[in-house]
Amino acid sequence: MAPARVFYQRAITADPGFAEGYYAWGVAELNLGDPETARRLFQRVVELDPVHPDALNDLGALELSQGKVEEAQQLFRRALQFRPSIVTAHLNLGNALARAGQPARAEMEYRQAMRLAPSDDIPYLALASLFEQQGRLAEALEVYRTVVRIAPRSGSGAFQFGVLALKMGNVNEATHALELATKIQPRSSLFHAELGHAYLSAGAFLRARQELEVALQLDPQNKTAREYLRGVK
């Protein structure tokens, strides 16, 4: 048995009504890759402390992961009722609303998360993704620009920005963004493949080949990189 499980079991045996002990154990089970045990522990927390916002939020995330969108929304709303400043609860509620076909309300939740955590890239990336799904590409691109500015170490932000810029024909901007992404995450085969694609689009065939070969060295199964490589003269 994992040492963390032994520790928390002993703590709960000593104090069966200790809600925070159950919550910490639930988080440990999530980290150990056992969401079902985590679910039971979070449910126990809520039984002991019905206004525990973190347990409500985490329980909602587990419900959402199983497609229980309505149940998840209710849990996120309860969490925010007791602590309106939980950034992840706003994000999670936004994700649930987006899945429920309510993009306008999802956007409101993402924007609230952005206000609460203005230097965190995740709310911005969620909003940009929502805009992309709606076909609001110019707005999505502007959000990605903001991510690169406020979170210059966000590899995902630079990557998504570059991919969308390239899709929209902004080759120079795409190239700069994807170069940044590969500097932040040099071991990403996907990032190198898309940078190779950008170089290919710009007619820089030698640099394209170099990046695509790096992508394949990192992941020989990268089919996208192989496809792009066929277009190199």
Say if residue 156's pLDDT is above 60. yes
Nearest CA-CA partner of 143 in 64, 171, 133: 133
Summarize pLDDT for 3-62 with one digit per residue, the tens: 667 677 776 666 677 788 899 989 999 999 999 999 999 999 999 999 999 999 999 999
The number of CA neighbours under 13 Å toward the Cβ of 202 is: 20
Residue 6 is predicted with a pLDDT of: 65
Token digits of residue 186: 């040099």
- In the DSSP assignment, the letter for residue 49 is -
Token digits of residue 206: 């030698």
Summarize pLDDT for 94-143 with one digit per residue, the tens: 999 999 999 999 999 999 999 999 999 999 999 999 999 999 999 999 99
Residue entry with tokens 């805009």: 131
CB atoms within 10 A of CB 152: 12
Summarize pLDDT for 77-96 with one digit per residue, the tens: 999 999 999 999 999 999 99
Q: Using pLDDT thresholds of 50, 70 and 90, give the confidence band for residue 232.
A: confident
Q: What backbone torsions phi and psi does residue 197 show, to the nearest 5 degrees?
A: -60, -40
Distance CA 9, CA 24 (A): 11
Residue 4 is predicted with a pLDDT of: 66
Residue 15 is predicted with a pLDDT of: 66
Cα–Cα distances in angstroms (integers) from residue 56 to residues 36, 52, 68, 161, 233, in the given order: 15, 6, 14, 33, 56
Could you write out the DSSP letters of every residue in 35-95? HHHHHHHHHHHHHH-TT-HHHHHHHHHHHHHTT-HHHHHHHHHHHHHH-TT-HHHHHHHHH
Say if residue 1's pLDDT is above 60. no
Q: Is 55 exposed, middle or buried (CB count within 10 Å of its CB: 0-12, 13-18, 19+)?
A: buried
Length of the chain equals 233
Summarize pLDDT for 168-216 with one digit per residue, the tens: 999 999 999 999 999 999 999 999 999 999 999 999 999 999 999 999 9
CB atoms within 10 A of CB 128: 27
